[in-house]
Every structure is written in structure tokens, then in C-alpha cells.
Structure 1
Amino acid sequence: MDGILITNETYFDKEHNTTFRYQDKYKSFSIGSDFSTLVPFYQKLLKQVIGTKADETFKDFALSKEQTEKIKTIFEEQIDKTLPVYEDYKGTKIPHKRLEWKGEIYELHLGLNSPNNRKIDDFYKIVTIANECLKENKPMYLSIE
């Protein structure tokens, strides 16, 4: 398995530079084995939703509403589980991202030396995509290569 892609629209029938790269309405999360050792971790989480299909290769698989809700729940749980060990860089000049979660503000440094913060940001991106798809009553798309 080379990577996982989660999107709010079909991906492979579009030109990346004119859609996902430059338009805010197109949202995606991707993780690839070339850049991360976490692909098996995400695959294991996705198996809770799509079973052994997570071992297959496919593009733009439309998830049902129930599957999208389950992904949302799983990744919300991962945020809750990882936040207690996040690295706080509040007040520093290190580039960061501000995350508001359950009424609290977290300053996330997303450098390579902050793996927990990067995972929290990844989980949040997935939850955000799931929330949008559920709110707009449209499918969330999953691709595994």
C-alpha cells in the first residue's frame, strides 16, 4: 500500500491544480508511504469502517453516511487520545496552527519534530471533511493505492 486519500469530492476525474490545489471547496487529506510510516496505522483505523476492503486498491470509493459517521467518530477519538501528549508551542515564534477543540485552544507546531501535533492536525482534517460531507448530505470519498 502506497497511500490513502480522503476527499469531499471525487478526486481522480479532476485536474488537481485547478481543483484541490487552488479552490477551498475541494478538501482532501492524504498520507503516503513515501513520506510517512503511518499508512498502516491509518489503514488499521479504516478497517474498522470498511473491513478487509482496506487491504484493496481502489479510487474514489463513495462512503455511505453511516461509514462517514463512523470515520468521524474514530478520528474524533484519536484527537481526544492524542491531545494529552501534544507539544505546546504557545507564545513562541515557531510556525504553528491554532486548533479549537471542545472549547479549548491548542497551538500546534507542525514541524517534523512534533509527530503528535502532526497526527492531531491530520485527524482534524479528516473530521472536518467528514463533518462537511454529513452536513451537506454528500458522500465522503476514500482512495487506497
Structure 2
Amino acid sequence: MLKLNLLNNMNGIIISNNSFFDKDYWTTFCKGDQYKFFSINDITQFLGAFYLDRLREVLGNKVDETFKDFPLTKEQTEQIKTVFENQIDMTLPLIEPVEGRRYKSWTLDWKGKSYDMNLSLISPQSMKIQELYKIMKIAEECLAESKPMYISIDSLDF
């Protein structure tokens, strides 16, 4: 369903560790552990604009174009990693306390400290950090393996 929506009426962002649109989603990104991606399905919403603004710091006005599987250079991937690391640093002080609640949790080990992240709907900052971390880890992997990071943007209705 996700792949069909993104292909037919994307209007979103995909950040991946491999080209996305030349592969069968179900046998690669859905089942293969080596294929990783992050997506925002609607860039007209607040979160879409937030991620476009972060990408704009690296790609400039290119984020206003429509493109699929644009490979980033090593330098651009390093910049993406830095931008999202900085965003994690800025967002961590905003995480909500989790005392006395049942929640889906995730532990973030970040710069020598562990953070207990509440991934329920009552904790949007923790969920945001998880997304930022996923993008940063994709960039980190691409840099470690000397392979391009890919970005796709469809902003026709933006």
C-alpha cells in the first residue's frame, strides 16, 4: 500500500540507503534488512514542511523540485547526518517525562547518555527523535559503506 501510494500520488519525501523506485518494495524494503528508508507521505502537513526545511539546509532550492532516487554526494550525506544530529540535540530537552504511564518505549543511547523514549501518541517529541535518529543512521550507514544516500521528493502540490 505504501509503495503504491508513493508511486501513484507521492507528494512526499523518501530518504533511503538504496535506490527505491527501481525495486520491488515487497521483496526489498519490506523484507530485506539491508534496505532502509524513511518516508513522509504528505509534505503539505507540518512534519513534511519540517523535513523539507532540514533538507533545504543541504540541498537548497532543489527540494522545491520533483525527483526520484536522487543520489547524494558524500559531502551532502555528511551534511544530512550533521543536520539531523543537531536536530536531535535540539529536540532531546523537549522530551516528555514518562513516569506512571504505560507506553511503548525505546532507549536512545546518545553521546554517552541513555534516554527512555515514550513512543506513544502522548509523546510526539520522542517519536520525532526516533525519526530523526533513523535518518541520521541511514546517513551514517551510507558513509560507512561508501555508498550514496538517496532522496526522492514530489512537491507538485506544495
Do Structure 1 and Structure 2 share a fold, with TM-score over 0.5? yes
Q: TM-score range by the shorter chain?
A: over 0.9
Q: Which residue matches 2:140?
A: 131
More strand by share: 1
Equivalent position to 1:5, from 6, 14, 17: 14
Distance (whole Å) between structure 1 residues aligned to residue 133 and residue 100 of structure 2: 22
Deviation, 1:115, is: 1.3
Distance (whole Å) between structure 2 residues aligned to residue 83 and residue 120 of structure 1: 7
Alignment gaps of 5+ in structure 1: none
- What is the percent sequence identity of the aligned residues? 52
Distance (whole Å) between structure 2 residues aligned to residue 106 and residue 90 of structure 1: 13
Alignment gaps of 5+ in structure 2: 1-9
Q: Which residue matches 1:60?
A: 69
Distance (whole Å) between structure 2 residues aligned to residue 59 and residue 90 of structure 1: 43
Q: Which residue matches 2:109?
A: 100
The letter for the 2-side match of 1:119 is K
Output the TM-score relative to the length of structure 2: 0.85
The letter for the 2-side match of 1:39 is G
Displaced runs of 4+ in structure 1, greater than 4 A?
none
- Paired residues, number: 145
The letter for the 2-side match of 1:42 is Y
Q: Which residue matches 1:39?
A: 48
Q: 1:61 to 1:95 in 2, by over 3 A?
A: same
Deviation, 1:55, is: 0.5
Which whole-Å deviations, capped at 9, do the CAs of 1:81-119 have from their partners, x for residues lacking one? 000111232675411111111111111122222111111
RMSD in angstroms over aligned alpha carbons? 1.8
Distance (whole Å) between structure 2 residues aligned to residue 136 and residue 90 of structure 1: 40
The answer as to 2:91 corresponding to 1:82 is: yes
